Amino acid sequence: MQSAAPLFSSSSRVAGSPPATFLPTSRAEMAALGWEQCDIIIVTGDAYVDHPSFGMAIIGRVLEAQGFKVGIIAQPDWHSTRDFEALGAPRLFFGVTGGNMDSMVNRYTSDRRVRSDDAYTPGGQGGKRPDRCVIVYSQRIRESYKGVPIVVGGIEASLRRIAHFDYWSEQVRRSVLVARRLGGNRLERIGYTGPFKPAH
């Protein structure tokens, strides 16, 4: 059996090149960096703030430090695939996260009322992310890019990686790792990367 190539042997950034001032969020920003394609694109339910209090910014910068070209799609409009196509297809994979909070906790109070604000959106504006956004974002990506791997992570994916009781619908829901595609009955597995990775 052939062994897999080390992850960090797949980076495409020229050794010694400086980090981006901000990770690109548009084709124009990619062009300014001299990039034709990202290696990895992170899709997040939060606004993009390049600060260590935002998990996707940390992940993006760690990957960039290893030589990967990382782009960010922040709070895309999930009603169509347009925003998910803004940076094109990544060379390696899409990383999908609900953001710093579970999207259902972010959108609803404990008595199931819709929140009027969102602490992780500019101006505190509510309604900028869908319910269960890890599943919704993954479905939209799959509609546009059928062959590109999807890796999910963050608190929402971690909490829902196995079958679980869903407080809002009062039923047991399947793992987010098995996401039903829109417009069909075929089930598709998507990858999960948790906060901890064994050393061996």
Residue 42 is inside which H or E element, if any? strand 40-44
pLDDT, tens only, 44-63: 988 898 888 888 899 999 99
Range of weakest confidence among 85-89, 106-110, 133-137, 194-198 = 194-198
So what's the pLDDT on residue 96?
93
Confidence of residue 11 (pLDDT cuts 50, 70, 90): low
CA distance 119 to 185: 36
CA distance 177 to 151: 10
Q: Is the pLDDT assigned to residue 16 strictly greater than 60?
A: no
pLDDT, tens only, 111-136: 778 878 777 777 767 777 888 889 89
Question: How buried is residue 5: exposed, middle or buried, by Cβ count under 10 Å (0-12/13-18/19+)?
Answer: exposed
Q: Is the pLDDT assigned to residue 73 strictly greater than 80?
A: yes
**pLDDT top residue among 25 and 6:** 25
Mean of per-residue pLDDT scores for the chain: 80
So what's the pLDDT on residue 76?
94
Q: Is the pLDDT assigned to residue 30 strictly greater than 80?
A: yes
Q: Is the pLDDT assigned to residue 186 strictly greater than 60?
A: no
Residue 103 sits at the vertex; the CA angle it makes with 101 and 106, to the nearest 5 degrees, is 70
pLDDT, tens only, 135-177: 899 999 999 998 899 998 888 888 777 787 778 778 888 887 7
- Does residue 145 contact residue 81 with C-beta atoms inside 8 Å? no
* Integer CA distances (angstroms), 133 to 19, 107, 128, 168, in order: 29, 11, 10, 14
Confidence of residue 90 (pLDDT cuts 50, 70, 90): very high
| Percent of the chain whose predicted confidence (pLDDT) is above 90 | 37
